């Protein structure tokens, strides 16, 4: 179960997801980008809790 679902992992979506996670929210970040890894991919670690 998640508290918030952020659709779109652009700069605003990533910033919002990071801020919410830092405040203890359980966040799911969705992006409809390419299925294959590429140089634009960024790794995310799940927040504890």
pLDDT digits (tens, 9 = 90+) for 9-42: 889 999 999 999 999 999 999 988 766 666 565 6
24 — alpha (psi -120 to 50), left (phi > 0) or beta? left
- Residue 33: per-residue pLDDT: 73
Indicate the burial class of 13 (C-beta count within 10 angstroms; 0-12, 13-18, 19 or more). middle
Assessment of whether the complete model's pTM goes beyond 0.95: no
What beta strand segments (E) does the chain contain? Answer: 4-7, 27-30
- Residue 8: per-residue pLDDT: 92
> What is the Cα–Cα distance from 14 to 29, expressed in whole angstroms?
8
């Amino acid at each position: 179960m998640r508290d918030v679902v952020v659709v779109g992992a652009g700069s605003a979506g990533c910033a919002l997801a990071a801020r919410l996670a830092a405040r203890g929210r359980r966040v799911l970040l969705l992006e409809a980008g390419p299925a294959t890894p590429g140089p634009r991919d960024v790794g995310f670690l799940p927040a504890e809790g």
